[in-house]
Amino acid sequence: MVGLGTIMAQTPIPFSERLAARIRERRNPVVVGLDPQWASIPSALRRGVDADHGADVAKVYRAFCLQILDAVGGLVPAVKPQLAFFEELGPRGLDTLLDVIDYARSLGLIVILDGKRGDIGSTASAYARAYLGAASPWRGDALTVNPYLGHDTLEPFEAAAVERGAGVFVLVKTSNPGSAALQDLAAPRERVYRQVARHVETMAARTSGPSGYGAIGAVVGATYPEQLAELRAAMPHAWLLVPGYGAQGAKACDVALAFDREGLGAVVNSSRAILYAFARPEYGDRFGEARWQDAAAEATRDMIDELAAARG
């Protein structure tokens, strides 16, 4: 006979509750995007390395990302590796990605894998099994998902997320300038992004836990603040992953309405503005390239303070 303690040990803590707890612990909603790009990485790490040799570049990416994690891992609740920058290096890049994920997890960070996966039926199930949960090969706490093959393609991701205590962030209103070409189209009842948001809210509500939020969240860009506020109201049970802050031009005041009264409900991503802060005059003049980790940490602290001030 299986005891209650065994059952509880086998039941993973839902992603929504883990994320809420980590935000409260770190007292901020910042997500640092891990987007290693060869030309932007500090020259000391690139020196003597052949940029055309994928295995050597992968080693540089590994060193860079692990040192970024050392710099910011004690400050923020989550990180977001962008899979494409690792995948372009082939198998060695994927080895590096797994090392980065494992190191981030060892620091107690929530790991959101940014792969924007999406497909039909068994293929979607395979993606979900590959990326979601501590027992999966890629050990992701959450995954970004593309909904534009239809609502049924989201169901395998929802099922895996619930089973494994993981999360899913569905693209609803993205931060890129061209997003309006499809997402803002006027469908018979309402704009496309609103129809996607309605379905996300349905899934979020039926998977919600004590925090009030569910396993299914939404990607909503800070570069469209009016729609961000609109979608916060339309999806009260969905965590929002908010890109666009920093290098894409959005400010702290643009994201303030993404949060609930307790300061939960959203996480805000910044990638280039933190990773390569040493190249920005306000940090480069103080730290120089040699102290690029210190520049990244300081840019992270400044973002934390700016968001706190904007949220009141």
Residue positions annotated with a catalytic role: 116
Decide if 22 contacts 30 (C-beta within 8 A): no
H/E segment holding residue 113: strand 110-117
Hunting for tokens 């396993």 — which residue is that?
Answer: 215
Closest CA to 45 of 15, 66, 25: 66
Distance separating alpha carbons of residues 299 and 279, to the nearest angstrom: 11
Decide if 112 contacts 241 (C-beta within 8 A): yes
> From the CA atom positions of the chain, what is the Rg in Å?
19
Closest CA to 75 of 112, 31, 35: 31
Q: How far apart are the first and last CA of the chain?
A: 52
Decide if 118 contacts 149 (C-beta within 8 A): yes
Task: Give the distance from CA 188 to its chain's centroid.
Answer: 32
Hunting for tokens 């920093």 — which residue is that?
Answer: 246
